[in-house]
Every structure is written in C-alpha cells, then in structure tokens.
Amino acid sequence: MSSSHLSKFALLNPLWLFFKSATRSFTDRRISLWIALVGLVVAVLVTLVWLAGRYEASQYQAELDRDTADAVSDIRGAFSRHVLTLQSIQSKTLSIPSWHTEMSILLGHNREWLRIEKRDLQGVIVHFSDSPLREPVFNVSSRAQEQAEIIQTCSRARRVNGAAYSRSYFVPQSNGLGLEMMDLCLPIIEQGKVTGFTLLTYGLQDILAAQLGATYGQRNELSFIEPDGTRLAIYGSLPRVKRLFTATQLLDLPGSTLVLRMDGRRIVPDLFPSVLPALVTAMSIALVSVLVLLVKDSRRRLKAEFDLADALAFRKAMEDSLVTGLRARDLHGRITYVNPAFCQMVGFNADQLLGKSAPMPYWPSEMVGEYQQRQAVRLAGNAPPREGFESVFVHQDGSRFPVLIFEAPLINVQGKQTGWMSAFLDISEQRRVEELSRASQERLQATARLATMGEMASLLSHELNQPLAAISSYATGSLNLIRQRQQGQGMSHVGDLQMALERISEQAGRAGKVINSVHDFVRRRDQDREIVDVRTIIDAVMPLVQLQAQKLRVRVETKLDDRLAHVFCDRTMVEQVLLNLARNGMQAMDHPQCVLRVLSLHVKRAASNLSHDWIEFAVIDRGTGISDQVATQLFTPFFTTKAEGMGLGLSLCRTVVEQHGGHLEFAPYAPQGTLFRFTLPTAPEA
C-alpha cells in the first residue's frame, strides 16, 4: 500500500467511526423515545383503567348506599302504616269473635305479622290470634320467657303514649330452626285512659321478604345485624367471595335499634374493570365502522342522487303526460306549483300563476266571493270532501267549463302540513254525455209511459170484474124486488131493496177506489195508507167472496185470532189481494175431482222480528194443487192456466204485499189443496 493510500485511510477511518457511533446513538435514542412513548401511553391507559375501575366501584357503592337508605325508609313507612292500622282497629268496639276475625284478616294480608295479642294493664294476655300463614310460633317455647321484655316495652309505650318496639329475640321452632322476632306494643286508649295494650309480633326475616324482597331482594342480600356484625335475619343469597359491595344503615325505632345491611351481587374488581377495556375496544371498532359506513354512505348518497334525478325526470314526464290538472298552494293560499295539464286547462302559463293568491284569474267574476269563502274554509283547516266537489272555471279566452276538484292536505317529510294539493278534472265531455243520456232517458220514459197505459188498461179490466159483477148481482136482485112489488106482492122486501141499493153504491165506490189505487200502483206511487183493523178488511171482503162462493157452491170458513192487532196498509189494495187469492182458490175447486169444496180464511199473529210484529193472512183451498212446472212461473206476469185469465192477478198480489214490506208465498196443503199466505206489518203503537 502506498503512502498516499495510507494517509487517506488514516484520515477517513476516524470519520467513519464517528458516523457509525453517531448513527448508533441516534437509532438508540429513537428506540428509547418510542419505548418511552409506548410506556407513557401504557401507563396512562393503566392509570385511566384503574381510575375508571375505582370510579365504577364508587358509583356502584353510592348506588347501594342509596338503595339501603331507601330500604330503611320503606321499612319505617311500613311500620307507620301498621301502627295506623292497629289504631283504627282499636277505635272500633268489637266483640271477641269479631276481634279474632279482624285479626285473622290482617294476619293473612301481612306476611311479616306472626301474632297479635291483646293484653291488660298488667301485661296478661286477654286473647290472641296467630298467623294463618304458618304454624303458631310459640308451640315449642313459652311466651312467658319474654314477659319481662314485653312489660318493659309496653311501659315505654305508655310513657310515650305511642308505639314502642322491643329488642329482637330468638324463638326456637319445631323444625329444629328458629325465628328472630321483635314486638310492637301499642297502648289502647279509651276516654283518655290507657286500658290495655295491643302487642304485634314481627318476624325479622319476614319483614325483609315482605317489605324489601320484591324491590331489593332480587339483586342484593338483605340482613338485619347487631352493632357487632352478628346477623339476626337474612333474605336472599350471594356467592361467597372475599370482596363484595356492602352498605349498612341504622334503623332507629322507639325503644329498639336495628342495623340493615345490604350486600350487592357485584364483586369488587381487583385491578381492571371489565367495562373499560370492552369500551375502548368497542370504540375502536366503532371508529373503523364509522369510516366504513361513511364510505358506504357516500356511495349510497351518490346513488341516491342519481336515483332522485331519475325519479324527478320520471315524475316530470308523468306530470307532463297527465290530463288531470294539479295545483299546490301553501297555507296562505298562494300557488306554489301547477302542472302543464292545469295550465292548458285554464289557458295561463306557469309563470302567470305561480305566487298568485285569491282572487284567481280563472275564477268567474260573479263567483269570486263564493270561491273566496270556500278557500277561507279550506285554509282554516277544514278537510274537503274526499269525493270531490264541482266548480266552474273560466279559460283565458273567456269560455267557461265545469271541473271536478279533489283536495287533500299537503304533508311534508316531518309529517307537518305545508299546504293543499288539488286535482282538477275537466268534466265538460262528461256533462255532454250526461245530457245526451238524459235526453235518451226521457224518450225511454215516454215509451215506458205508453206501455204503462196498456198495462193500466189490462189491470183495470182485470180488477174491476169483481165490483162490477157485484153491482150487476145487486142490481138484478133489486129489479126482481121491484117486479114483485109491481105484481102486487106487497112491501115486505123494502128493506132488502134498500140494502141492495146500498151495496150497489158501496161497490161503485169500491170500483172507483180500485181505479185510483191501480192507477197509482202502475205509476209506482205510494198509496194512501192508514191504520186498519184486520176484521174490517175481512168484513169488507166477505160479501164479494160469498157471492162467488154461492155461484161455485163453495163453503167459506173464517178463523180469526183473538190477539189480532191493527195493520198499516192501503186498505183497498189489501182487499184486492184477499179477493184475488180467494177467487183463485174457489176457481181451483171448480173441478169434478174436488168433492170437499171448502175455502178457509185464517188470520193470526205471526212471529215477530227486531223491527215489526206481523199479521199472517192464509187462504186455503181443497183443489187439485199446483204442479211443479206451474209453480216455477206462478208469479210471472201474463202467465196463466185459465182460458179467460190474463196472468196479472198473482203478480199484482205479490207486488202489493212486498210494497207493504211483507211476503207472499204458497205451499201444498195436506191432504189436498194449496195454501197461500202473506204477511203485513202491524201498525206502530203511536
């Protein structure tokens, strides 16, 4: 190696050593700083965790202290209520059985009450009652063992003129265990003097169970302890560990002092609580989750913007294609939106309508006041009819057209009303079609009236046969009586002649009523209805029925119920129904096979429903009956089995009965014949 190389090497070697040592020093310092930083963070975290554990423990201890104080307050309140209950019993004058009954009820309702005694001034038991919820507590040991304590407690109660409590004492039981008890002595005061004492025996464990078990016993262990820590009574159970949350509270009673202890179910944490690490982990996960959700939300928001743009474009295209006019107004009545169909309907563009308020440019000038009043009602919050209402608008060119308007509240996303949305339908074409339909209907009605005239003529000819036949019969009889007089046979038939003339007049009036009733019936007009006695209807019909019966050699039987009520009907039309049914029945028996020619008319009260009582009319013949083929079209207009019949009688009868709210039907009658019956509603009591 040359001298120059050696000199350079000698010069660079110290520099390399210095750089190497500096680099190693810098690296060691950075590592130390990171170690120090990590150690500091760990120390801070450990300190925070420890402080959090202590804070969590203090919070739970404070909560347990509050629960213990509340529990003591609950016990004091319960004891006060018990004193008031006993005082209310003392204020009553009760016999011994009544006293035992009252005490048994109280002992059954209060689990912590073991025994109630009534004692005299010397402390001797007068009578007592044990709790029905358990065996008597003094079966094993004598009650006299606590006599001194009882006398002392009652003496204290007499001095303070109020309730006094004894110290707790232990009483063995038959099951080998025992109960810790305490007595409450309450003086009995009559006319300002103490006449005795009421002694109530408590079970300390039962006090814990009855007064605190439902509220605090599910999550804590409750116990009464002495000042030295000896447990007197326990309710609940806890895992046996060294460190538990415990709180004590002094229960100071007149004459006695107890200490209530409450042990929480939660174990005191040794070093680290379980909540904070889970919380830190949860917060870290939550932070990462929030970032992920933000990314997703950004993508979702972008997609929603595109979807909203598509929806707006779709809605715009749909609104432009609608033929229904749409208009939105705010709560002050100003127009905030109109669609093209509405603009086309009224002839104004959107710029001319937006922001406008009443009066609107498309309102008729003479109806401005009415429309403003209607709009004021809408703006006042009264909901419009959901079926819509009609109105008239004026086009910009001055032409008028009817519209059908539907209005509904305009609700925003927050559920608050921001205005009104209206939909408009131009019903000009509908009105034109309705007018054409009305004209066509009038022409059809004119044609129907012509047909009705023919039907009326048929009905009149059909229904007038009976009264005219009666008039003819009475007139023939009258002429016979007159001829007899002319032949010199005396005046013995004057009464019959007068009766015949009266019948002729009556039947002539009846024929007029038939004409009027049938005329009104054909016109589908309500007949003149009245309250009529059923017997009056039968009496009016029977002469005409008897005339037909004599002609056909038929015997007529009538059977009327004694409990018949009045009916509300058109008397003339109901009589026509009876006549038609009776005539058909007698004609059905005009046959050689019918040996027994009897027509029965039965009238009785029918079954009632919620709205009416009913009267049932029945017409029974002994004819050959109705075949199945005839029965299917018996009530069809213009269907008849008679050579001279028109087929209108039964159809008319059924229509008249149904117009009165009744029902007409028929059925075979055993052994031979047919039964026709119909019902009519009774008249209201008023």
Q: Where are the domains of the chain?
A: 75-267, 324-426, 440-525, 528-681
CA separation for the pair 605, 345 (Å, rounded): 66
Q: Looking at domain 324-426, which of 3.30.420.40, 3.30.300.180, 3.30.450.20, 3.40.50.720 is its CATH number?
A: 3.30.450.20
Q: 145 with 118: CB under 8 angstroms?
A: no
* Residue 537 C-beta-side C-alpha neighbours within 13 Å: 28
What CATH superfamily classification does 75-267 receive? PAS domain (3.30.450.20)
DSSP 616-637: EEEEEE-SS---HHHHTTTTST
Query: For residue 628, what are its two tokens?
Result: 């199945």
Per-residue model confidence (pLDDT) at position 619: 93
**Cβ–Cβ contacts within 10 Å for residue 357, how many?**
12
- Residue found under tokens 């002495």: 226
CA separation for the pair 620, 386 (Å, rounded): 56
**Class of the domain covering 440-525:** mainly alpha
CA separation for the pair 238, 38 (Å, rounded): 41
What one-letter code names the amino acid at 447? T
Q: 583 with 650: CB under 8 angstroms?
A: no
Q: 238 with 101: CB under 8 angstroms?
A: no
Quick check: helix, strand or coil at residue 159? helix
What one-letter code names the amino acid at 432? R
**Cβ–Cβ contacts within 10 Å for residue 289, how many?**
11
CA separation for the pair 271, 243 (Å, rounded): 13
Q: 347 with 395: CB under 8 angstroms?
A: yes
432 φ/ψ sector (left φ>0, alpha ψ -120 to 50, else beta): alpha
CATH architecture of 528-681: 2-Layer Sandwich (3.30)
How many residues appear in the chain? 686
E strand or H helix at 25:
helix 3-90
| Burial status of residue 96 (CB atoms within 10 A of its CB: 0-12, 13-18, 19 or more) | exposed
| Burial status of residue 678 (CB atoms within 10 A of its CB: 0-12, 13-18, 19 or more) | buried
Question: What torsion do the CA atoms of 156, 158, 160, 161 make, to the nearest 10 degrees?
Answer: 150
Per-residue model confidence (pLDDT) at position 597: 81
Is 324-426 in the same CATH topology as 75-267? yes
CA separation for the pair 210, 139 (Å, rounded): 24
Quick check: helix, strand or coil at residue 153? helix
Quick check: helix, strand or coil at residue 619? strand
E strand or H helix at 484:
helix 465-486
What one-letter code names the amino acid at 52? A
DSSP collapsed to 3 states, 569-590: ECHHHHHHHHHHHHHHHHHHCC
pTM of the model: 0.38
Per-residue model confidence (pLDDT) at position 267: 56
DSSP 38-77: HHHHHHHHHHHHHHHHHHHHHHHHHHHHHHHHHHHHHHHH
Q: 613 with 603: CB under 8 angstroms?
A: no
Mean pLDDT by 10 residues, the chain (686 residues): 43 46 54 59 61 74 87 90 88 86 88 89 87 84 80 89 88 83 90 88 88 81 83 78 74 87 68 56 65 74 83 78 80 83 83 82 81 75 64 84 82 80 82 79 53 52 69 77 68 67 76 63 57 88 79 86 85 83 86 78 78 86 85 79 72 83 88 90 74
Per-residue model confidence (pLDDT) at position 187: 92
